[in-house]
Chain A
Amino acid sequence: MEKIGILEGREKQVYEKKGDSAAIDIKCETTSLSGSVSQRACVFCGSRVVLYPVADALHVVHGPIGCAAYTWDIRGAVSSGPELHRLSFSTDLKEMDVIYGGEKKLHQSLTELIAQYQPKAAFIYSTCIIGLIGDDIDAVCKKVSQETGIPVLPVHSEGFKGTKKDGYKAACDSLMKLVGTGSTEGIGKYSINILGEFNLAGEAWIIKKYYEEMGIEVVATMTGDGRVDDIRRSHGASLNIVQCSGSMVKLAKMMEEKYGIPYLRVSYFGIEDMSMALYDVAKHFSDNPTILDAAKKLVNREVSELYPRLQHFRQALEGKKAAIYVGGAFKAFSLIKALNSVGMSVVLAGSQTGNKDDYEGLKEMCEEGTVIVDDSNPVELSKFVLEKEADLLIGGVKERPIAYKLGIGFCDHNHERKIPLAGFVGMYNFILEVYNSVMSPVWQFAPRKGGLS
């Protein structure tokens, strides 16, 4: 095989588990090297994915057309009602706006749009050049808010001001301005908010149903199938449940500080983590034992139904190897457990934006020889997939064709998943998808696997 190198200066962002080595010394939470073919995105992207599912809000991208065009309805965050979030609104700034400023244009756009669509709130995303030309979007938002009577919230998501994670923070800051502005009347004691769940392929509905079955009231899901009014009264909930470590822990922390609402970190992927996500909440409400009883009953029912169905796959998948490259490292934990549960091993685990603790956790979970990478690129991913002879790659849109070119199976565990992968049913769907892809007859035609070359 041809030798494939690692980008100079990136050696410290790649770690291979060997023996019982000391603490992992992986370099992470840094900006990408200039010139790398990074799979990462920007601050704006982070804000956009977090806020996008709020379906009855207006989402206006303030900047040249591209940022709005590339984020137009690309995420399957489904809504049970309004679908305003699926339209693309842009101030479409031109050269003259860059010279003279775009505040006037923004003001006019907002006025026109709010009159037309009567949204419950508006999010105004700042893009790279807004940060440079100095538009005071806070002032414009404030003015429009006064004129129209709806919350108009600036999102400080200038692309260059950090990584995608900083975009999550900016989104949380905006959401926090909504939280606490609605009435909490009628919200019971056993109530939660679901944070960091974006209702891709209807996943939030599955999770919400579980909690409701346990007798727990879900005040707001943030932001999947999100509604402005729910968010405004979400400070009335007793507990925040945070999934997807990166994106919304900050909001949970802010709500804890301001409203004294504790939070729990959970994952809804895989049997183990899904069950934990229900039990942890039940334990939090331990003064009401019926909740725990209901949780046990639910888990029992779901697992006893699911377990036999998974065995069929286990036979085929036992010993197959997976490579995982995802946005946030927290998801990788769940995926490793889920894959292990059907006999698959993980030979590469990486993320775009993990931190030291995440990677330490990954190291603990992984087997000998597993490669752990931060902010990887196609060359490295190909290298490790080939060297470690992976049968499956789990990633997002930019990773998919690489897997196919290498002649291995692929599963999108990112924006483009088409079926729910969360919850017990999601575990079945996930393993089914993995099974279908890994076991497909098409790979035999790839020259590397013995097809004609």
Chain B
Amino acid sequence: MEREALTINPAKTCQPIGAMYAALGIHGCLPHSHGSQGCCSYHRSTLTRHYKEPVMAATSSFTEGASVFGGQANLVSAIDNIFTVYEPDVIAVHSTCLSETIGDDLKQISTKAKDDGKVPEGKYVIHAATPSFVGSHVTGYANMVQAMAEQFAESTGNKLDQINIVAGWMEPADMREIKRLAKEIGVKIQLFPDTSDVLDAPQIGKHVFYPKGGISIPDLKSTGDSKYSIGLGCFSGEPGAIALEKTCKVPFQTEDLPIGLRATDRFLTALAKAAGVKIPDSITDERGRLVDVMTDMEQYFDGKKVALFGDPDQLIPLTEFLVDLNMKPVHIVSGTPGKRFEQRMQAILSETVPDANIKNGPQADMYLLHQWIKNEPVDLLIGNTYGKYIARDEDIPFVRFGFPILDRIGHSYFPSAGYMGGLRLAEKILGVLMDRQDRDAPEESFELVM
């Protein structure tokens, strides 16, 4: 079907959910949705389905009146109510299509709330504009992370021996892994946002409104004094690093999310260089184990065609990793717009898969991906839960990766980042490919040893 206008089965969602997820990575923060009640409810439900965790967020509960006269009164009274009853350290307000269209100015309203004495001493309100009709959930995440940097980082002139890692959209497990790697290398980092110990919280027999994880306010403020920043992911992490450079003159570089071998190499090299340390043998051994599995199992990856979809910052290093495994990513779709996606993809694929189908932005949806797969079948599909329809229709082995994953667990507990994450991805890919080989093997060639 030729389409000019509509989207069928989207490969993205809207900005506010990204802002809500990012805000949960500050300790003691209550995300606040400045819009209708439904937005907040949908985002909380989706995050809950993905993490199997309670997700706390408040809403301005827009009514008809607010939509005519502006949402200022709603937001000011919301801020007042929230600090009185829920007692967060921070309220992270994001807008919605509704409040953006009526023209609410979050900065001005937050200032008014503060002037009116609604923000207690030592408490904070930060705000990010996240209109749903621009970009995608990835944009919303980036905007909230940028807001954290702009509105918290302080430059005291007293440089600290620490490196900022501005986390692109990653799972709590990945953030935990990055902290582990940094510790192993011996570098003090400030990772933000940090949703580990927030959205993978242990069962302790009670519901903790503000779980123990998340970057603390003093740590977040100190990012302005760090000697360097690494922004992970040019879509979701870089804007925060740029903001730190602008507001506090912290120099930065952008790296891909450390997914797969080479992206992890680049990240760790950059981190070690910025901190002036050497990569320890323990990490080199981890790397060696990943390379060992890649070489041991090389025959099973060779030439397999892959279709993948999801968010740009994940897809870029993942595609590179697949190419390094001698696989052929032939169809790649992301609903998130941005020119750098196609540029990076072409650079990665120009030699190995020069005629790969790559599309992001408008009409880059699951319908398009399905059409491509029908025209040129693949051996493997990688993406979020919504891929299961295509996987079933076309009988394709399917690895769940990305956001949201609504029908499996593991993504929040086991990293995809770092060398160990690379091992996990390789294991998952091999698992489905080999299951398929076993399923389809004729009796005589059904093999015990693979």
Which residues of chain B are within 8 angstroms of A365 by Cβ–Cβ distance? none
A106 to B7 CA separation, bound complex (whole angstroms): 11
**Which residues B45-91 have CB closer than 8 A to chain A?**
45-46, 48-49, 52-64, 66-67, 74-75, 77-82, 84-86
Residues of B within 8 A of A (CB): 1-10, 12-17, 30, 32, 35-46, 48-49, 52-64, 66-67, 74-75, 77-82, 84-86, 96-98, 101-102, 131-134, 136, 201, 203-209, 335, 362, 386
Known contacts A66-B39, A132-B102, A447-B204; A109 and B6 CB within 8 A of each other: yes
Which residue of B10, B57, B132, B205 is within 8 Å of A37 (Cβ)? B57
Interface centre among B52, B79, B133, B206 (most CB of A within 10 A): B133
Q: Is the CB of A91 within 8 A of B206?
A: no
A7 to B82 CA separation, bound complex (whole angstroms): 9
Q: Is the CB of B44 within 8 A of A159?
A: no
Residues of A within 8 A of B (CB): 5-9, 31-45, 60, 63-72, 87-95, 97-98, 105-106, 108-109, 112-113, 116, 127-129, 131-133, 159-163, 378-379, 382, 386, 397-398, 400-402, 404-407, 445-449, 451, 453
Q: Is the CB of A64 within 8 A of B133?
A: yes
A39 to B40 CA separation, bound complex (whole angstroms): 9
Which residues of chain A are within 8 angstroms of B52 by Cβ–Cβ distance? 400-401, 404
Q: Is the CB of B38 within 8 A of A159?
A: yes
Q: Is the CB of B41 within 8 A of A91?
A: no
CB distance from A315 to the nearest CB of B (A): 27
Which residues of chain B are within 8 angstroms of A453 by Cβ–Cβ distance? 204-205
Q: Is the CB of A105 within 8 A of B5?
A: yes
Known contacts A65-B7, A405-B206; A42 and B39 CB within 8 A of each other: yes
Known contacts A31-B63, A65-B12; A128 and B45 CB within 8 A of each other: no
Q: Is the CB of A66 within 8 A of B42?
A: yes
Q: Is the CB of A109 within 8 A of B59?
A: no
Which residues of chain A are within 8 angstroms of B66 by Cβ–Cβ distance? 160
Closest CB pairs A-B (n = 8): A42-B38, A66-B14, A448-B205, A35-B78, A35-B81, A159-B36, A109-B6, A69-B13
Q: Is the CB of A65 within 8 A of B61?
A: no
Q: Is the CB of B36 within 8 A of A90?
A: no
A42 to B40 CA separation, bound complex (whole angstroms): 9
Q: Is the CB of A38 within 8 A of B8?
A: no
Which residues of chain B are within 8 angstroms of A35 by Cβ–Cβ distance? 32, 58-60, 77-82, 85
CB distance from B19 to the nearest CB of A (A): 12
Which residue of A33, A34, A40, A94 is within 8 Å of B134 (Cβ)? A94
Q: 19 new A-B pairs (CB below 8 Å) besides A35-B80, A45-B41?
A: A34-B77, A35-B85, A36-B61, A38-B59, A41-B37, A44-B38, A45-B42, A64-B133, A68-B10, A87-B9, A112-B6, A132-B67, A160-B98, A161-B64, A378-B209, A397-B49, A402-B207, A405-B203, A446-B204
| Listed A/B pairs (22) with beta-carbon separation below 8 Å | A8-B84, A31-B61, A35-B60, A39-B41, A40-B37, A66-B42, A67-B42, A69-B14, A70-B13, A90-B10, A95-B134, A159-B36, A160-B62, A378-B207, A397-B49, A401-B48, A402-B207, A404-B203, A406-B205, A406-B207, A446-B205, A453-B205
Which residue of B4, B6, B45, B56 is within 8 Å of A70 (Cβ)? B45
Known contacts A66-B13, A160-B66; A43 and B38 CB within 8 A of each other: yes
Q: Is the CB of A34 within 8 A of B67?
A: no
Q: Is the CB of A7 within 8 A of B85?
A: yes
CB distance from A323 to the nearest CB of B (A): 13
CB distance from A97 to the nearest CB of B (A): 7
Which residues of chain B are within 8 angstroms of A127 by Cβ–Cβ distance? 97
Q: Is the CB of B39 within 8 A of A159?
A: yes
Q: Is the CB of A89 within 8 A of B61?
A: no
Q: Is the CB of A407 within 8 A of B37?
A: no
